[in-house]
């Protein structure tokens, strides 16, 4: 390959002259002129090249590319030539055989840096700097963080992609988005991340709406929490925890009420400001009935008959439950309607949420199985455990930790509300300062951007230093491209990705990656999958 940089001033001058003449010819030409279309293309191409050179500071080059083909016989040579020409044509590249000029082309292919004038004028093509870069043989990006874990293999040069998401000097945050259709490989990839981070001793919290991670949890000696009609483990949504406020902050009850606003708007549907004001009054009364007020000292057990922050923080048994709130609501005509709406959570189909917390988080890998909640109620479980794990994440800033939120569209999509979506966004925006990482996983791209004109989905994407795109349908790619900068080439790549392949965005680096797992890793994950299939449960 030979590159010859052209004089910028002369090139722009010649282009301007050509554009002027072409414009006059096109204006005076008749519609039935045979070469009108070719002239129009040349005119537009010239304008594009001039624009790139003047505005984007690109340079124009002449590019000559020669290919030498070797064979031991004329028959073999002809076969190889036809094969190479077919490959080039399939990629939209026009080739020409160097008939009667083979010796000159061969000499130009020798390491002498000599491009014969006799063949140069007929072989050269115009190319701008942006296109020129793509011809370099080792242009494919590669990332190798010594303290990172294996994300996959670079599909172009087979180099290992090792990423340490928690490297604060290199990445603005440790957040990650994993997007792809069902069956594209995102669940397998997520499980690999869990396995490899488990070896590193990282705290990991997984919200599992599809019952996909249970066996992996079991094989890694993690803690599995199930919540639903058949479960005997409970998490109280009204719990106030010691880590519920920012470090050195204050206002336990105020902070908890602001979090509960999102949950109850999910549970009660749209309620106006007046109704919420009345509801909040009963919520405060419910806490007051348990001796919990806006005075933070009331959250600590008494020492010498006095409340003191030196005392023990109140546990779940000291907290109110939904049933207590329900009793206060139905007693007042102003809130009786809201109490009726809350009844399923107290003595109806969702009564398992009306219990004191009996879960002890004593493991570095915790899976929250909310599969039994069903399609209509699963968003309550996702929010409940997101808030539960968020308090846990804030406990120790020096400990690396990750929260995986599968089917995140349920919390930031149109079926959710602004209060819930704002809470999720806050996690992605602030988790870095607690040594944490948020991982958003979804296959429903359109739903991800369905709330508030897609602002919450876009904010979470922008607050994720790493984005992994598995195969997506064309409609999803078009939706995604309106919120994130994806080139036309990358759109084609995402659409044509095979199972187990993804396009990884790491800052300015965009790398086509193939997911690789060791024999033991694959056996563990596949065993989990087979066990789940044997139990007649879905798996993606």
| DSSP, res 306 | B
d(C-alpha 263, C-alpha 250), whole Å: 22
Q: Answer yes or no: is pLDDT of 531 > 70.
A: no
Mean of all residue pLDDT scores within the chain: 88
pLDDT in tens, 342-397: 999 999 999 999 999 999 888 999 999 999 998 889 999 999 999 999 999 988 88
**For the purposes of burial, counting CB atoms within 10 Å of the CB of 540, is it exposed (0-12), middle (13-18) or buried (19 or more)?**
middle
Phi/psi at 84 (5° precision): -65, -40
The enclosing H or E element of 26 equals helix 8-28
What local confidence, expressed as pLDDT, does residue 304 receive?
52
44 compared with 177, residue with greater pLDDT: 177
Q: How confident is the model at residue 233 (pLDDT cuts 50, 70, 90)?
A: very high
The three-point CA angle 366-369-372 to 5° equals 165
472 compared with 529, residue with greater pLDDT: 472
pTM of the model: 0.74
Q: Which residues of 404-433 are buried (b: 16+ CB within 10 A; e: fewer)?
A: bbbbbbbbbbeebbebbbbbbbebbbbbbe
Q: How confident is the model at residue 142 (pLDDT cuts 50, 70, 90)?
A: confident
d(C-alpha 426, C-alpha 394), whole Å: 13
157 compared with 463, residue with greater pLDDT: 463
Q: Which SS3 state, helix, strand or coil, does residue 8 take? A: helix
Q: Which SS3 state, helix, strand or coil, does residue 382 take? A: helix
pLDDT in tens, 69-81: 999 999 999 999 9
Q: Answer yes or no: is pLDDT of 257 > 60.
A: yes
Q: Answer yes or no: is pLDDT of 535 > 60.
A: no
Q: Answer yes or no: is pLDDT of 144 > 80.
A: yes
pLDDT in tens, 400-409: 999 999 999 9
d(C-alpha 503, C-alpha 496), whole Å: 11
184 compared with 310, residue with greater pLDDT: 184
HEC letters along 27-75: HHCCCCCCCHHHHHHHHHHHHHHHHHHHHCCCCEEEEECCCCCCCCCHH
What local confidence, expressed as pLDDT, does residue 416 receive?
85
d(C-alpha 100, C-alpha 98), whole Å: 6
Phi/psi at 377 (5° precision): -115, 0
The enclosing H or E element of 398 equals none
Residue 362, Cβ neighbours under 10 Å: how many?
7
| The two structure tokens encoding residue 390 | 């968020």
Q: What strands, in cross-sheet order, belong to the sheet with 509-514? A: 160-163, 149-154, 509-514, 501-506, 466-469, 176-179, 436-442, 401-406, 203-208, 365-369, 223-226
Q: Where are the beta strands (DSSP E) in 319-474?
A: 365-369, 401-406, 436-442, 466-469
Instruction: Tell me the β-bridge partners of 505.
Output: 467, 510
What local confidence, expressed as pLDDT, does residue 260 receive?
93
Residue 107, Cβ neighbours under 10 Å: how many?
14
What local confidence, expressed as pLDDT, does residue 44 receive?
87
22 compared with 386, residue with greater pLDDT: 386
DSSP 115-158: --HHHHHHH-EEEEHHHHHTT-TT-----B-TTSEEEEEETTT-
Are 509 and 141 contacting, i.e. CB atoms less than 8 angstroms apart? Answer: yes
Rounded to 10°, the helix 252-268/374-393 angle is 170
Q: Answer yes or no: is pLDDT of 128 > 50.
A: yes
194-197 CB contacts, 8 Å cutoff, 24+ apart: 194/220, 194/365, 194/404, 195/220, 195/521, 195/524, 195/525, 196/149, 196/150, 197/149, 197/402
Domains (range + CATH), the chain: 2-133 (no CATH), 236-358 (1.10.8.730)
Q: Answer yes or no: is pLDDT of 130 > 90.
A: no
Mean pLDDT for 456-463 is: 93
What local confidence, expressed as pLDDT, does residue 306 receive?
47
| DSSP, res 210 | S
Q: Which of 102, 42, 48 is nearest to 70 (CA)?
A: 102
d(C-alpha 174, C-alpha 148), whole Å: 12
26 compared with 203, residue with greater pLDDT: 203
Side-chain-side CA neighbours of residue 518 (13 Å)? 6
Rounded to 10°, the helix 273-289/336-347 angle is 60
Mean pLDDT for 27-54 is: 78
| The two structure tokens encoding residue 322 | 């939904």
End-to-end CA distance of the chain: give it in Å, rounded.
46
């Amino acid at each position: 390959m030979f590159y010859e940089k052209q004089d910028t001033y002369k090139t722009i001058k010649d282009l301007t002259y050509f554009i002027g003449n072409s414009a006059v010819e096109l204006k005076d030409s008749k519609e039935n002129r045979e070469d009108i279309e070719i002239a129009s293309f040349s005119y537009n191409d010239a304008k594009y090249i001039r624009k790139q050179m003047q505005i984007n500071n690109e340079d124009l080059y002449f590019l000559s590319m020669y290919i030498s083909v070797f064979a031991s016989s004329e028959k073999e040579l002809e076969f190889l030539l036809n094969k190479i020409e077919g490959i080039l044509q399939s990629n939209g590249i026009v080739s020409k055989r160097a008939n009667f000029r083979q010796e000159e082309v061969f000499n130009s292919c020798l390491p002498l840096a000599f491009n014969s004038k006799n063949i140069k004028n007929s072989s050269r093509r115009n190319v701008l700097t942006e296109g020129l870069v793509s011809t370099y043989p080792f242009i494919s990006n590669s990332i190798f963080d010594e303290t990172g874990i294996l994300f996959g293999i670079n599909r172009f040069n087979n180099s290992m992609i090792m990423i340490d998401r928690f490297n604060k000097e290199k990445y603005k945050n440790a957040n990650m988005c994993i997007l792809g259709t069902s069956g594209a490989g995102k669940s397998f990839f997520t499980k690999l991340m869990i396995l490899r981070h488990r070896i590193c001793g990282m705290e990991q919290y997984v919200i599992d709406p599809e019952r996909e991670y249970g066996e992996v949890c079991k094989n890694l000696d993690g803690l599995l929490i199930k919540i639903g009609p058949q479960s005997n483990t409970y998490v109280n949504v009204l719990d106030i925890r010691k880590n519920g406020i920012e470090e050195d902050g204050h206002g336990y009850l105020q902070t908890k009420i602001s979090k509960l606003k999102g949950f109850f708007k999910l549970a009660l549907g749209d309620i106006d400001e007046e109704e919420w004001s009345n509801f909040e009054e009963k919520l405060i009364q419910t806490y007051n009935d348990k001796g919990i007020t806006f005075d933070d000292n009331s959250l600590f057990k008494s020492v010498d008959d006095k409340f003191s922050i030196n005392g023990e923080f109140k546990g779940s048994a000291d907290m109110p439950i939904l049933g207590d709130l329900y009793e206060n609501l139905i007693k007042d005509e102003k809130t009786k309607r809201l109490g009726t709406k809350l009844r399923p959570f107290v003595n109806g189909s969702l009564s398992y949420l009306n219990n004191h917390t009996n879960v002890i988080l004593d493991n570095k890998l915790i899976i929250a199985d909310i599969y039994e909640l069903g399609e209509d109620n699963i968003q309550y479980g996702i929010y409940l455990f997101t808030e539960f794990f968020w308090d846990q994440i804030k406990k120790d800033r020096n400990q690396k930790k990750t929260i995986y939120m599968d089917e995140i569209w349920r919390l930031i999509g149109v079926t959710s509300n602004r209060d819930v979506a704002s809470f999720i966004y806050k996690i992605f925006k602030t988790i870095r300062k607690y040594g944490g990482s948020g991982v958003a996983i979804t296959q429903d791209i359109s739903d991800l951007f369905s709330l508030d004109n897609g602002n919450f989905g876009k904010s979470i994407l922008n607050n994720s230093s790493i984005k992994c795109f598995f195969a997506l349908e064309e409609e999803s790619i078009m939706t995604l491209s309106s919120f994130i900068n994806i080139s036309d080439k990358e759109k084609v790549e995402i659409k044509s990705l095979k199972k187990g392949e993804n396009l990884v965005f790491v800052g300015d680096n965009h790398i086509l990656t193939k997911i690789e797992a060791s024999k033991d890793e694959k056996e563990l994950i596949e065993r989990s999958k087979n066990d789940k299939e044997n139990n007649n449960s879905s798996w993606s």
